[in-house]
Amino acid sequence: MSWSGTVRCSNCYTEGHNVRGCPELKKAWAKDPNSYQGRMWARYMAQKAAPKTCSYCYQEGHTRAGCVDLKTHKQTYQEDAILFRKALAKWMRDSGLGIGALVRAKDVQYYTSEGHVYPNNADYIPPVGLIINTTPSANHYTAVSGSGEWMSNQGLLSMELLGTAHLDSYRRHVGLALPCIPGIVPRMGKGWHDGFIDRAERCSGVDWEVVSPGHIHFDATDWSSPKEVATVAKAHFARANEETRSSFQELTPEQRTQLREYVNGEIELSEMKDAELPNNDT
């Protein structure tokens, strides 16, 4: 594209067409199909004649832009994300997780003037810190048990450790992963090989508690707005991210029902529960 917005051919530099429609290439092909420009034209024509294959569902006959599955999944993704974000924001308010909240973490690595401290140390002391920023970065795929996001230490917030003013800034802060929250982030789930996984045992940084509530609640108005989530969904399903139909994840109908009831105030946090896992005959 030139500055004027008109298409310009990269072969003959003429405006009004691109290289795939260049008449000069076509003339070169007619004159000598084995010439460099002739072979280029033949390659473009072969690509144009080849059946269209969608990079999302891998079905022939359409491209990613016209994929019905992609459009359906994108809509579901946005609806699930909005619901999850609203529920998570309400959980933060209900648990007192706001700016100024005092938090004790029981399974994080941190640093003191004497060096690194690890959770498996015999003399490990759970660190305590303040929440100074409540803009979470949680992905609703973390609520899908068995997914890659659920089985990883998905970051939520960070806290500034008390008594570390003498340390460098990056030493004073400890990241907190999204904890297991009944009804929101399941603790137990089915793994890739039909076994069952305890997320609390697999992930670090998920075992922490609010010791004293914060004085400012997190405002989820923008974070959970359709406009913000639509932007996130657009980036998530962009071709560059290589997202395909097989990697799509969604909440279960039971999860959606419970999350809506919680968001709407029909049930309390104490009434939230995870879905029961099927019996393992093995």
Looking at the structure, tell me whether residues 101 and 226 fall in a common domain.
yes
Q: Give the model's pLDDT for residue 1.
A: 39
* Arithmetic mean of pLDDT, 238-247: 89
- The confidence band for 281, taking pLDDT boundaries of 50, 70 and 90, is very low
- In this predicted structure, what is the pLDDT of residue 240? 84
In a domain, 221, yes or no: yes
Residue 238 domain-assigned?
yes
Non-local CB neighbours of 131 within 8 Å, separated by 6+ positions: 97, 98, 99, 100, 101, 103, 157, 159, 214
C-alpha dihedral sign at 102, 107, 108, 113:
positive
Q: What is the mean pLDDT of residues 146-170?
A: 88
* C-beta of residue 269 within 8 angstroms of C-beta of residue 93: no
Candidates 54, 50, 57, 45; CA nearest to 20 is 45
pLDDT in tens, 92-102: 999 999 999 99
115: β partners: 112
At residue 154, the pLDDT reads 82
Whether residue 89 sits in one domain with residue 44: no
Q: What is the pLDDT at residue 152?
A: 87
Confidence of residue 5 (pLDDT cuts 50, 70, 90): low
Q: What type of residue sits at position 99?
A: I
Structural domain range at position 13? 1-50
First to last CA, the chain: 62
Predicted TM-score (pTM) of this structure: 0.79
Check if the beta carbon of residue 151 is closer than 8 Å to that of residue 197. yes
If pLDDT is split at 50, 70 and 90, which confidence band does 206 have?
very high
In the chain, how many domains are there?
Answer: 2
- On whether both 259 and 190 belong to a single domain, the answer is yes
Residues 84 and 220 in one domain: yes
Same domain as 240, residue 113: yes
- The arithmetic mean of pLDDT across residues 101-111, rounded, is 94
**Above 70 in pLDDT, residue 2?**
no
- pLDDT (tens digit per residue) in 40-53: 888 888 877 777 88
- Residue with token string 């530099």: 13
Q: Cβ distance 153 to 205 under 8 Å?
A: yes
pLDDT value of position 232: 94
Contact 142, 189 (CB under 8 A): no
User: What percent of the chain shows pLDDT beyond 90?
Assistant: 56
Whether residue 12 is found in the same domain as residue 126: no
pLDDT at 75: 97
